[in-house]
Structure 1
Amino acid sequence: MELDTAKKLITRYVSGHSAFMAKAQEGERYYRVQNDILFRKPKKTDDAQTVDGVNPLRQADNRIAFSFYQLLVNQKAGYMFTTPPLIDTGSEKVNNIIVRDLGDAYPRKMKDLCVNASNAGVAWVHYWIDEAGFHYGVVPSYEVIPVWSQKLDKELLAVLRVYKDFDEQGDEWYIYEFWTDKECEAFRRRSADDIQTGLVTCPMFVDFYVSGLSEADNILRHNYGRVPFIPFFNNNTSSRDLDVVKKLIDAYDKTFSGFVDDLEDIQEIIFVLTNYGGQNLKEFLHDLKYYKAIQVESAGDGDKSGVSTLSIDIPVEARDKLLEITRKAIFDMGQGIDPQQQGLDATSGEAMKFLYALLEIKAGLMETEFRIGLGELARAIAKAHFRQVDQLTQTWTRTSIRNDAELVDMCSKSVGILSKKTILKNHPFVENAEAEEKQLDKEKQDDDQNDDIYGNDLGGGKEEPEDV
């Protein structure tokens, strides 16, 4: 690709990606409980009501951010990926290869994909192959700019990945990787330069990928057969979880923070002085404390000179009701589980399912999309080892409060109706169905061997001759 062509493509795609990037970063910010209220501008004050630029009645400025969104996302991630999905290709050898290449970090990476997809609407996995074997990693969603076809199946034609890096001198660079199904070209520019004047080829690219480099240091040719990026969409609309709860969370933050401001700013009792005869408020407070009395000037009969008090009642009941309604709406609209939810006295498994009803709907939408991405990742691993996957079965497990006794009873009643492997996959005590199946076969062989030994000892020997 010529440099001028690269400048045009990068300028085109980066400019159109800014809106998505802003939303993705906003979702990540709320996940880290950096809500908008923390960045609220100071309250405006009227000059007529200020003393030395400060409003004496409104000095408090509490900014309290609640972690409702983080809780909703963590609920979904823990519910779906505490036990990561199991992959079965029908071949034990291929299964072992996939498990090995997915690695020990597989559960953590699946949770990262869930969080990224919830924050941005889509998460991305990038994989590559070098001398050490197959590798894959979770890429921040705002770094990936996909190029889709206009077909109904939305084929991924290319990916432009944009991220920051530093050279040996400590200078900051923007790196642009343009991936296709056959090669990748890398460019870079200093953060202080613009694309048109500062974009150059990226010789640093050789540091990241060793094999497959052409004579030009910025080009990597590969034989993956596809663009090595796999999307994991959050749901069928590719929308983020923050969209439906952001305004409710902001309203809760503002209401609660405003309530704390009122408690700090508004005094319980305000003195109302009529025809006070003293010099200033300092003298009034001194007389009141020392003499338990104050002097006032009377204007005759009918005069209302004196001291009265004025108390201001904060509408606590109304605010409590608003906070209660808003909290319930957050968990209803966000399809989560409120930890304060009460009233579930039944302990049966069917009763517990109602607690997870909304969360299961949200998890089901994500699972449908993630199954496609996970299948593509498993087939990419198999292809890297020159294996072909004809069929692929995924077993997804939810982590929730459940009645294990009922599950065990259901498994025992399913013997003879379902296969042993299906029963083992759904048994609450089994984590790896294949390992458990091997262990059962081994124990059966040991039992058969022991039965043969005991049988020979008891009746397999020679009969004793009868006494004559």
Structure 2
Amino acid sequence: MLTYQDLLAVGKDEKARMDFIQQAINEHKGSEAYKMAVDAELYFKGENPTINRYEKIIYDMQGHAHRDMYTANHKIASSFFGLDVRQEVSYLLGNGVTFQNDATKDKLGKKFDLEIVRAGKYALIAGVSFGFWNLDHVDVFKLREFVPLYDEENGALMAGVRFWRVADDKPLRATLYEVDGYTDYIQRSGEDMTVKKEKRSYILHLRSTEADGTEIYDGENYPSFPIVPLKNGEDALSELTGKRNTVDALDLCTSNMVNNVDEGNLIYWVLTNCGGMEDMDDAKFLDKVRTTHIVHAGVEGDEGATAEPHTIEAPFSGTEATIDMLKCKLYEDFQAFDSSAVSAGNQTATAIAASYTPLDLKVDDFEASVTEFILGILALAGIDDEPSYTRSRIINRAEETQTVLMGAEYYDDEYITKKLLTINGDADQYDALMERKVAEETERLEEETFPPEVEEETEVTEDAEA
């Protein structure tokens, strides 16, 4: 594992620095963390690399192993890991991040909430993700594309290499991020790595004139390294760690059930008094059955020969019970919320809250990591603020509304209005609602103060007309 001190030891020689970058990328790809990140991303996408690599093996009379080409080998992967990651991220960050100062969100960029969701998702999948404060917005890097270089003394992230390649036959691109700026590199197929753009400061100052156009006249850097890691817990481990075998067991059990059903659909034939038939004769017999669906008595001329079809009933009950057990264990191990537990009947608020307890315990730890990450971004942006979150959960709206209204006399109108809007999923409508209420109140006061004049009607009689 290369560290920040290893980068400092290389010095300023560009050839040595490019050799260091290539070595860092190669070692990173060979690390256990990188391999876990690659596999975890496949699990997240609904693929299972473990059972995809699994092959049935049979042995011949000499004891040699061969791939089983005769029996069914369906490979069915579950999407449980993807469900768990999306559920945890949505539960904590689905309603966005809230700050004490309304202007903070504007300073962090329009896509800040979306980038935080991406950072959280990548951190749960691989164990860690990285947020780069890029002047006025956040860019998020995966562990699969970023080599962190930590300080050996205090463990802080002090440098890093981001690398990517759009296709195997396309150039390798790399960017070395340091405290005093970043440098872009490129390596084309069959060539050595070269500098694409010299080191530049993170913050560039531009000026424009009619004679010279736009030019960079100065640059500056941040007070600290502008990339902040978002770790999933103190050890930065993937959510899949420790539960992968259970996911594999569920996928393998489901696959075996389908394999058993597939093989059970095959009919095998018992041929009586057909001892003179060889393998070629058996093949011809099956071909004729498949094409004509007719079996003649006296197979292959043998007197008294008969052919009788048989089927095998695939085992189901035991496998189904095992699958149900594994699903329950996955919900327990991942501390995920099982919506089926509250979907039956009109559940009380207490019962619903109890169902969320395991997820709350897990998300509490993740919230601390997200908060530390956001505070690091705020420090780079020069913003003094603190984040807060509104968790998304299923509620009994009628019961929650009744509880709020019962305590209305102890709270002000603003609190009651916001709570009711939140319960009904309209929290973002508060400002518009207040504007309408103020307008209605103003109109009512104007009508009371200045009532409309009523024109007196004059009754005209026939005599008056005359």
- Give me the TM-score of the superposition, normalised by structure 1: 0.73
Partner of 1:174: 173
Pair 191,221 (structure 1): closer, same or farther in 2 beyond 3 Å: farther
> Residue 121 of structure 1 aligns with which residue?
127
Match of 1:333 in 2: 333
Per-residue CA distance 1:96-131 (angstroms, 9 max, x = gap)? 2x22244443332222122101111112211222xx
CA distance in 1, matches of 2:332, 2:22: 41
Q: Distance in 2 between matches of 1:258 and 1:454?
A: 79
The residue aligned with 1:235 is 233
The aligned amino acid for 2:37 is A
Deviation readout 1:282-332 (Å, 9 max, x if unpaired): 56987994666778769xxxxxx9777765443322211221111211121
Identity %: 17
1:40 matched to 2:53? The reply is yes
Equivalent in the alignment of 2:142: 140
45, 62, 65: which one pairs with 2:74? 62
CA distance in 2 between partners of 1:202 and 1:128 (Å): 20
Deviation readout 1:421-458 (Å, 9 max, x if unpaired): 6666654357667x836864884586367437625769
Q: Does 1:447 align with 2:405?
A: no
Write out per-residue CA displacement over residues 208-265 of structure 1, whole angstroms, 9 at most, x where no aligned residue. Answer: 979369xxxxxx9533212111222222332111113221121222222222223223
Structure 1 counterpart of 2:260, one-letter code = D
- Provide the C-alpha distance between the structure 2 equivalents of 1:161 and 1:420, rounded to a whole number of angstroms: 53
* AA matched with 2:172: W
Checking the alignment, whether the CA contact within 8 Å between 1:296 and 1:306 is kept in structure 2 is no
Change (3 A) 1:457 1:59: closer
Question: For structure 1, which segment, 357-366 or 33-42, has the greater mean C-alpha deviation from structure 2 after superposition?
Answer: 33-42
SS at match of 1:186: strand
Distance of aligned partners of 1:442 and 1:269 in 2 relative to their CA distance in 1, 3 Å threshold: closer
Q: Which has the higher contact order (CA 8 A, sep 6+)?
A: 1
Tell me the SS of whatever aligns to 2:90. Answer: helix
Query: Gaps spanning 5+ residues in structure 2: where?
Result: 1-11, 207-217, 453-466
Alpha carbons of structure 1 residues 273 and 335: separation in structure 2 relative to 1, 3 Å: same
Residue 403 to residue 151, structure 1, CA distance change in 2 (3 Å): farther
TM-score normalised by length of structure 2: 0.74
8 Å CA contact 1:77–1:115 kept in 2: the answer is yes
Tell me the distance in 2 between the aligned counterparts of 1:263 and 1:30. 25
* Equivalent in the alignment of 1:254: 252
Pair 86,297 (structure 1): closer, same or farther in 2 beyond 3 Å? same
Give the AA of the match of 1:61.
N
CA deviation digits over 1:385-415, x for unaligned, max 9?
xxx52xx343311112112334334444555
What CA distance in whole angstroms lies between the structure 2 residues aligned with 1:369 and 1:54?
A: 47
Relative to 1, partners in 2 of residues 1:147 and 1:425: Cα closer, same or farther, differing over 3 Å? Answer: farther
- Structure 1 segments unaligned to the other structure (5+ residues): 90-94, 214-219, 299-304, 459-468
Could you tell me whether the CA contact under 8 Å between 1:176 and 1:187 is conserved in 2? yes
Query: For the residues of structure 2 that align with 1:254 and 1:184, how far apart are their CA atoms?
Result: 47
Q: Secondary structure at the match of 2:116?
A: helix
Relative distance call for 1:171 and 1:35 in structure 2 (3 A) is closer
* Secondary structure of 2:77's aligned partner: coil
CA 1:343–1:398 in 2, change beyond 3 Å: closer, same or farther?
closer
Amino acid at match of 1:79: Y
The residue that corresponds to 2:112 in the other structure is 106
Q: Which amino acid aligns with 2:174?
A: I
What does residue 371 of structure 1 align with?
371
Alignment of 1:382-393 (within 5 A): 383=382, 389=384, 392-393=385-386
Amino acid at match of 2:93: F
- The whole-number CA distance in structure 2 between the counterparts of 1:421 and 1:225 is 41
1:350-369 matched pairs, under 5 angstroms: 350-369=350-369
* Offset at residue 351 of structure 1 (A): 1.0
2:390 equivalent among 383, 393, 397: 397
Contact 1:60 1:264 in 2 (8 A): yes
Aligned partners of 1:160 and 1:178 also within 8 Å: yes
Q: CA deviation at 1:48?
A: 5.3
For the pair 1:10 / 2:21, whether they are aligned, the reply is yes
Decide whether aligned partners of structure 1 residues 453 and 273 sit closer, same or farther in structure 2, where only a CA change above 3 A counts.
closer
Cα contact 2:46–2:82 (8 A) shared by 1: yes
